[in-house]
Amino acid sequence: MLRRQLLRFAPGALLAPAAAPQAPSGGKPKVLYFTRSAGFVHSVVARTGGALSHSERIMTEIGRRDGYDVVCSQDGRVFDGDIDPYAAFAFYTTGDLTQPAKDGSPPMTPAGKRRLLDSIAAGKGFIGFHSATDTFHSQGPRNEIQREVDPYIAMIGGEFLTHGAQQEASLHAVSNFFYKNIGVPSEGLSFTEEWYACKNFAKDLHVILLQETKFMQGDAYRRPDFPQTWARMHGAGRVFYTSLGHREDVWTNPLFQALAQGGIAWVMKKFDFDITPNINQVAPGANVLKS
């Protein structure tokens, strides 16, 4: 099913193009949207002239429509401060966030990284977009599976390996996770996107969207189908990740916005769903890196 066909089935609450950000108000839940780039800076998180980036404006609008405040930051020191007010953290990041960045943004401290992971394990939510898996890489060869992964990778549930040329590709919905809650269709769907090929998948993933590799172009995708969007628990905290989000037009796509809106709502415990692990059933070759 092509994307233009899919959008007829998208939820009634889908979002219009992002408006100017609203000032945070005292009584609403807060989500911290963290977009520091210690590696490659994606255009959707790049700020110009001090203004919020493309994705920051859209995230702010999603929060306004869904009843919470989105606080945008590229300052790693935020995790050394008071993070108790945040109900969830959203990441669009790259590289080792404890290291310097070309834009001069202050790094996260090792203690701040521990506080982040501990707070998620204690019950706060986490949602990762696209390059959130290209963050805090595990030690060892990049083209191999690691037996021990970085604690952040263990939390998010997978690790970026590589990507090929941008192309239209199909995703297969293997869970009715969002269909039952916000009306995202369970049929096949497609996007034009920069598709991440990942590795080091956690054994307890509840896979929502599966990357279908059969007709994809490029050596990066000469492997069995693998998870593209998933949910899992990290201790008491809910974790959601989608590798979508490289392109500006993806961020303005109503289906992507519905996924983001639903993912944030779930990690903030606005609805419940059985996320029994299904990776072994729907993606038995997920950690096979070459066909």
What does the domain layout of the chain look like in residue ranges?
17-160+228-280
Q: Is the confidence at residue 135, as pLDDT, over 70? A: yes
Q: What is the pLDDT of residues 78-123, one digit of tens each?
A: 999 999 999 999 999 999 999 999 899 999 999 999 999 999 999 9
Sheet holding 125-129, edge to edge: 69-73, 30-34, 86-91, 125-129, 237-242, 226-234, 206-211, 167-173, 189-193
Question: Does domain 17-160+228-280 sit in CATH 3.40.50?
Answer: yes
What's the pLDDT band for 22 if we cut at 50, 70, 90? very low
Closest CA to 157 of 69, 82, 91, 60: 91
Percentage of the chain beyond pLDDT 90 is: 81
The answer to whether residues 191 and 171 touch, using CB atoms and an 8 Å cutoff, is yes
What's the pLDDT band for 187 if we cut at 50, 70, 90? low
